[in-house]
């Protein structure tokens, strides 16, 4: 069970994620063992709004992306490996609020 500092690993900065920020939705890569209540608590405690107030999370959606099998060749031999599994969370904040880390990106 991760604590609030290890629950959220990093924000997702992609074109789609930045488009969603206009709809008050923000994407994060989270710990694989974290549940929605832990993600909600971590976002509300770690981030502030643009004016310095507290964030109110209204909805949390999670996506678990399984790692893919990758094959590669080195020195005439082939080998396989896996990319890591990743869990993402899409967090919706209350009307009129925005997370400060995503502003101006």
Q: Does residue 101 contact residue 12 with C-beta atoms inside 8 Å?
A: no
CATH 1.10.357.10 matches 4-100? no
Say what the pTM is: 0.84
Cα 43 from Cα 41, distance rounded (Å): 6
> Model confidence over 15-70: pLDDT tens digits?
999 899 889 999 999 999 999 999 999 999 998 877 778 899 999 999 999 999 99
What sign for the dihedral angle of Cα 105, 51, 11, 9? positive
- pLDDT at position 104 is 61
Strand-pair partners of 47: none
């Amino acid at each position: 069970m991760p604590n609030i500092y290890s629950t959220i690993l990093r924000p997702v900065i992609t074109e789609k994620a930045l488009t969603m920020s206009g709809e008050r939705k923000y994407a994060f890569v989270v710990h694989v063992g974290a549940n929605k209540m832990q993600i909600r608590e971590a976002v509300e405690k770690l981030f502030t709004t643009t004016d310095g107030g507290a964030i109110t999370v209204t909805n949390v959606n999670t996506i678990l992306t399984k790692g893919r099998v990758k094959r590669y060749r080195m020195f005439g031999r082939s080998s396989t490996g896996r990319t890591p599994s990743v869990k993402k969370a899409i967090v919706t904040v209350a009307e009129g609020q925005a997370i400060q880390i995503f502003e101006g990106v």
